[in-house]
Structure 1
């Protein structure tokens, strides 16, 4: 019986995982569950896929140990299997940019033209939070905010700016964040508030990266 070299076993497993990741819908689903545990129905709503199609993609990710499922009543909820998967997603996004001049041009035209200012790093924001020298805004949907958010962050999903304007300081910097580097909600929030004269910048990455780095988070999730 021919023995398989351990190196080849590793490469075979890497290929299996790569095939599981080789679908844009699954990558989107991984980003969504990186924000916290979500039901199949909610994930279908967020992606615009059918519930059956969403479930099939999640099952493929589960078979490859990329997500973990948990039944809660009649519904199944999914979360990332480990923070290492978030690192893989970050590396893929960097590689995608580096390997495609067209993608770099699109990102420059679309995202960076929305906000030319240098974003705030996690370490910088952490220091500012410790000093009480910053107001933080969470631009994600309310249910994601409830699952976990940066300490003291105010929930400001799309079209709700007016409700929190009286809470925003004019003499202190504001930092907005969303799901990750390419989440457009934080860009829109920054653009709107900057047009109103507020001193606001974006967080360099998003909630999942903040949590994976070991920084404190708050949770207001209901049972």
Structure 2
């Protein structure tokens, strides 16, 4: 094999990773797996996919070396192959927003108007250490169980309106979700504001905190 063939073979390996990333639903699955391991059934429901389609996408991620699978009884659980995969996803998003103008338009259309106040990670962690903030995790239960900020109150967004009285009213509420491109915390703060509950949202979420090495608590179950 000559130098050209060897170089082509090397770049083909790089291209295999790029090819598997070139699908919006596979990127959504990577985003979900950035929250922690999850069953195929749970991923299919969260991504709005049929089981067979979801399994096929996950298998492609596994074959590309981006995801790993393990079986527990009749269920198969997937996880990212490493933190660097989450970092790749995070960097891809940043590059798209910086260099593709329509990405910002799509982000605004999805997240809604800039009508919610935000708290950066440094401030949130300082206030969490002082105990003068109520941190609210509004993600679905499987994501909360896979990892959350220590001391966070967990109320999924779809239950928040009915369970709002469970929130302590002694301190400001800071809601968080999956990360910078997740709408759940935005919608939670809009709901809380409408109910007269002082609230802001975290700028970052579990994906960014995992990458930054912020301590994350995992449920024993």
Q: Please, what TM-score do these two structures have when normalized by structure 2? A: 0.90
Structure 2 stretches lacking a partner, 5+ long:
none
For the 8 Å contact 1:29–1:43, the answer to whether it is kept is yes
- SS for the counterpart of 2:107 is helix
1:199–1:19 distance in 2 versus 1, CA, 3 Å: same
> Who is 2:139 aligned against?
140
Number of residue pairs matched by the alignment:
220
Structure 1 stretches lacking a partner, 5+ long:
none
1:204 to partner: Cα distance: 1.2
> Who is 1:199 aligned against?
198
For the 8 Å contact 1:38–1:78, the answer to whether it is kept is yes
Taking only aligned residues, the RMSD between alpha carbons, in angstroms, comes to 2.1
> Who is 1:217 aligned against?
216
Q: Deviations over 1:183-214 (max 9, x none)?
A: 11111101011222222111112112212321
1:164 to partner: Cα distance: 4.1
Deviating more after overlay: 153-162 vs 176-185 = 153-162
For the 8 Å contact 1:66–1:81, the answer to whether it is kept is yes
1:131–1:8 distance in 2 versus 1, CA, 3 Å: farther
1:14 to partner: Cα distance: 2.0
Counterparts of 1:135 and 1:148 in 2: how far apart (Å)?
17
- SS for the counterpart of 1:188 is helix
For the 8 Å contact 1:40–1:51, the answer to whether it is kept is yes
> Who is 1:113 aligned against?
113
- SS for the counterpart of 1:160 is helix
> Who is 1:185 aligned against?
184
Deviating beyond 4 angstroms after TM superposition, the runs of 4 or more aligned structure 1 residues are: 4-10
- SS for the counterpart of 2:119 is coil
For the 8 Å contact 1:147–1:221, the answer to whether it is kept is no
For the 8 Å contact 2:96–2:103, the answer to whether it is kept is yes
Describe how 1:65-84 pairs up with structure 2 within 5 A.
65-84=65-84
Q: Deviations over 1:42-95 (max 9, x none)?
A: 111111211111111111111111111111112210001111111111121122
Counterparts of 2:134 and 2:71 in 1: how far apart (Å)?
37
Counterparts of 1:136 and 1:70 in 2: how far apart (Å)?
32
For the 8 Å contact 1:139–1:158, the answer to whether it is kept is yes
Describe how 1:1-223 pairs up with structure 2 within 5 A.
1-3=1-3, 10-111=10-111, 113-117=113-117, 119-161=118-160, 162-170=162-170, 172-222=171-221
Counterparts of 2:67 and 2:158 in 1: how far apart (Å)?
32
